[in-house]
Amino acid sequence: MSSPEHEPAGARDTTEGHTYTITGGDWDEIFSAAEKPDDERIIVNMGPQHPSTHGVLRLILEIDGETVKEARCGIGYLHTGIEKNMEFRNWVQGTTFVTRMDYLMPLFNETAYCLAVEKLLGITDHIPERASVIRVMMMELNRISSHLVAVAAGGMEIGSTTLMVYGFRDREVILDIFELVTGLRMNHGYVRPGGLAQDLPPRALDDIREGVRLLRSRLPEYDKLATNNPVFKARLMDVGYLNLAGCMALGATGPILRATGLPHDLRKSQPYCGYEGYDFEVETADTCDSYGRFLIRLHEMEQSLRIVEQCLEQLTGGGGEVMVADKKIAWPAQLALGADGLGNSLDHIRKIMGESMEALIYHFKLVTEGFHVPPGQTYTAVESPRGELGVHVVSDGGTRPYRVHFRDPSFTNLQTMAAMCEGGQVADVIVAVAGIDPVMGGVDR
């Protein structure tokens, strides 16, 4: 502990103990430099809120006329403390936290976390096939809904209100499916360690087939409206340029990386949830710009529909378990919709209350305490709509995580903003950021 005369100016005693307020020097240097007299050079704050970021982002731009000389990101305005909060909840409760990080791809957050927990439990090979197929189907539907928001918000930023209306119109088709299957449009908590919260409802397959048919009929509209539109192309081509070397240096993944021509996709290179058994292509472009990223998202939605159709074929013709058989781990998945809302089915309640004292005890322990996860650590990654979503999970053998840390693709990809924008026009910053498609809930988790 340093002596009082050397303590930071922000040091003070609180009810939580001795706290310090530390400020970094990065932004201080920018603003001190801005105070120097210069007729041409100014500092502009773009934000701290902008629609194309799906959250709250601050862009600090040093401009000379209309040219961006220096660009920096200011993050943290949407901080939730999700990763720290998970250390105080059991392993199953963690799913209700992670689903709220990047709120445009909640099912990817849940699946990545649950795959890591299952790896630590040693039950990866025991997950029912039906559960894995439903996970894949839901993730691919989620990929489409996320890309639709990216295309819609990006279109809105450049004045294409029709593209925005189309995108949000078609996203509703998928959100209706999510509500039918999980009970919620977003932040589902549907994927659980060991499987799923519940099986598909009776009419789900027919509704999903109808949704796929409808989306297939509508996706060509985006192609006709934007792909070869000379105004749209002129606004996106050669804007936000970043080549393969830049992507590798900055750790960019997802459409940003594939727009350089590199077909890197974890579903192919490191398959999970049985992706090796699905027939689909990894979409790439060679433009290294915002236009190529748009094309990739458009084509990836087609590929996701292909995967969803293959999932529907596998799910047709019968049910099956959607939760691992080990009852010491399996959170009850026998749910039913009753007068008091969604809960355990009456048959399950009768069994644990009237037939099996052991089942009642384990049900009580699972709900109140949770299961123990053997000591160890693991890193698991999935291919999300924005790139590699990784989770590092550490267990000390208890019923709660010792540490959970996510490699969120929005956080990593946001580093590319400066490389894309510096030397370009101020107006092109919007297009470049929309092409990155950052979601601040994942950045500031």
Report CA torsion sign: 61, 46, 418, 157.
negative
**Structural domain includes residue 136:** yes
Q: What's the confidence (pLDDT) of residue 7?
A: 43
Point out the least confidently predicted range of 39-48, 221-230, 234-243, 428-437. Answer: 39-48
Q: What is the mean pLDDT of residues 246-268?
A: 93
Summarize pLDDT for 327-338 with one digit per residue, the tens. Answer: 788 876 666 666
Q: What's the confidence (pLDDT) of residue 3?
A: 43
Reported for 20-26, long-range contacts at CB under 8 A and 24+ positions apart, including other chains, are 26/72
**Structural domain includes residue 24:** no
Summarize pLDDT for 144-169 with one digit per residue, the tens. Answer: 999 999 999 888 888 888 899 999 99
pLDDT band at 28 (very low <50, low <70, confident <90, very high): low
Asked if residues 227 and 285 have their Cβ atoms less than 8 Å apart, the reply is no
**Per-residue pLDDT for 121 more than 50?**
yes
Q: What's the confidence (pLDDT) of residue 9?
A: 44
Q: What's the confidence (pLDDT) of residue 320?
A: 82
**Structural domain includes residue 22:** no
Number of domains into which the chain is organized: 1
Asked if residues 87 and 98 have their Cβ atoms less than 8 Å apart, the reply is no
**Per-residue pLDDT for 38 more than 80?**
no
**Structural domain includes residue 347:** no
Q: Residue 411's domain spans which residues?
A: 82-329+371-443
Point out the least confidently predicted range of 64-78, 166-180, 209-223. Answer: 64-78
Tell me the CA distances in angstroms from 201 to 110, 238, 336, one per residue in order: 20, 47, 10
Point out the least confidently predicted range of 46-55, 122-131, 256-265, 355-364. Answer: 46-55
- Tell how far CA 363 is from the center of its chain: 31
Percent of the chain whose pLDDT exceeds 70 = 86
**Structural domain includes residue 407:** yes
Summarize pLDDT for 270-324 with one digit per residue, the tens. Answer: 999 999 999 999 999 999 999 999 999 999 999 999 999 999 999 987 778 888 9
**Per-residue pLDDT for 4 more than 60?**
no
**Structural domain includes residue 16:** no
Q: What's the confidence (pLDDT) of residue 260?
A: 94
CATH number at residue 143: 1.10.645.10
Q: What is the mean pLDDT of residues 206-233?
A: 91
Q: What is the mean pLDDT of residues 136-149?
A: 95
**Structural domain includes residue 27:** no
Q: What's the confidence (pLDDT) of residue 157?
A: 84
**Per-residue pLDDT for 24 more than 60?**
no
Summarize pLDDT for 90-119 with one digit per residue, the tens. Answer: 999 999 999 999 899 999 999 999 999 999
Query: Exposed (0-12), middle (13-18) or buried (19+): which is 441, by Cβ within 10 Å?
Result: buried
Q: What's the confidence (pLDDT) of residue 21?
A: 53
Q: What's the confidence (pLDDT) of residue 5?
A: 42
d(CA 229, CA 410): 28
**Structural domain includes residue 28:** no
Q: Taking all residues of the chain, what is their mean pLDDT, rounded to a whole number?
A: 85
